[in-house]
């Protein structure tokens, strides 16, 4: 399975660390040159930004950096569909856990057979178990809106993300997590393959956040509750779907 690591060409320190870490593990991968959010997005992506929704229901427009990250992931979803094969998408601010190679070994047998998406990094939110072989467990994350550092995606899953992201309403990790929009079941693999070392600040997400008006804070909180209810309902539907189709053995 192809691995693509999103990286800005100018982020040479990050690039070298990825080369060192994956090289030591003898894991083949390719860099995907990130789209710099400080400049104008490509012509086909710029119209997807929904600034009005952002202001009214998320308090502020996407920052330049958030636009760049979103565009980079979106391009890789398109690439997954074009290749017509599952891929692993990673951001360059990761470190591999001791389970990295063994986790990657199990992913091809899971992705696209039953799972269209598998999160491969830690998540501190609650989950419901799906299946386990004793050494690995798949789970349904109740809230998958924090981080998009590493995940496997199938062509059908990538198409759902593309079709469900014709309006960019929030940061890409938040929008992946709001899976009631795309009907993509956000499953995860335990133990984690990667973690966030927290010693590098992001280089793609550059750009300050503006002060939020009181009226936008109010609409934001009301909309947050609406999203919570919709996500709870969708999680129950998604979990039933996976358990009903439980035909795959590790």
Establish if 115 belongs to a structural domain.
yes
Establish if 203 belongs to a structural domain.
yes
pLDDT of residue 249: 47
pLDDT of residue 133: 83
Between strands 150-153 and 187-190, the pairing is: unpaired
Establish if 249 belongs to a structural domain.
no
Establish if 90 belongs to a structural domain.
yes
**Total domains present in the chain:** 1
pLDDT of residue 250: 41
For residue 91, what is the domain's CATH number?
A: 3.90.550
pLDDT of residue 57: 64
pLDDT of residue 206: 46
Residue 121 is classified by DSSP as B
What is the value of pTM for the model shown? Answer: 0.84
Establish if 218 belongs to a structural domain.
yes
pLDDT of residue 191: 92
Nearest to 29, CA basis, from 150, 117, 192: 150
Establish if 60 belongs to a structural domain.
yes
Q: How far apart are CA 250 and CA 131, in angstroms?
A: 9
Establish if 250 belongs to a structural domain.
no
Chain segment 139-166, per-residue pLDDT in tens: 988 888 788 999 999 999 999 999 988 8
Stretches where the chain sits below pLDDT 50 are: 205-207, 247-250
pLDDT of residue 14: 93
Chain segment 92-104, per-residue pLDDT in tens: 999 999 999 999 9
- Count CB atoms within 10 A of the CB of residue 44: 10
Q: Is 142 exposed, middle or buried (0-12, 13-18, 19+ CB in 10 A)?
A: middle
Nearest to 125, CA basis, from 202, 223, 201, 232: 232
Q: How far apart are CA 47 and CA 19, in angstroms?
A: 35
Range of the domain at 7: 2-244
pLDDT of residue 248: 45
């Amino acid at each position: 399975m192809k691995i693509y690591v999103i990286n800005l060409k100018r982020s040479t320190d990050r690039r070298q660390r990825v080369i060192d870490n994956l090289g030591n593990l003898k894991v083949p991968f390719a860099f995907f040159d990130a789209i710099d959010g400080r400049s104008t997005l490509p012509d086909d992506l710029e119209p997807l930004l929904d600034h009005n929704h952002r202001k009214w229901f998320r308090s502020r427009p996407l920052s330049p950096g958030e636009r760049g990250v979103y565009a980079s992931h979106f391009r890789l979803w398109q690439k997954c569909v074009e290749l017509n094969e599952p891929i692993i998408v990673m951001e360059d601010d990761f470190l591999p856990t001791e389970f990295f190679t063994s986790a990657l070994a199990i992913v091809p047998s899971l992705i696209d057979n039953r799972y269209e998406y598998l999160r491969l990094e830690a998540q501190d939110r609650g989950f419901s178990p799906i299946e386990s072989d004793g050494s690995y467990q798949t789970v349904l994350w109740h809230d998958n809106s924090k981080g998009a550092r590493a995940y496997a995606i199938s062509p059908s899953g990538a198409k759902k993300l593309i079709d469900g992201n014709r309006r960019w309403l929030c940061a890409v990790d938040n929008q992946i997590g709001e899976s009631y929009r795309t009907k993509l079941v956000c499953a995860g693999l335990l133990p984690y393959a990667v973690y966030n070392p927290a010693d590098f600040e992001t280089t793609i997400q550059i750009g300050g956040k503006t002060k939020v008006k009181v009226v936008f804070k109010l609409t934001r909180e009301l909309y947050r509750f609406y999203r919570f209810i919709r996500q709870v309902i969708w999680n129950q539907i998604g979990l039933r779907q996976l358990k009903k189709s439980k035909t795959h053995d590790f």
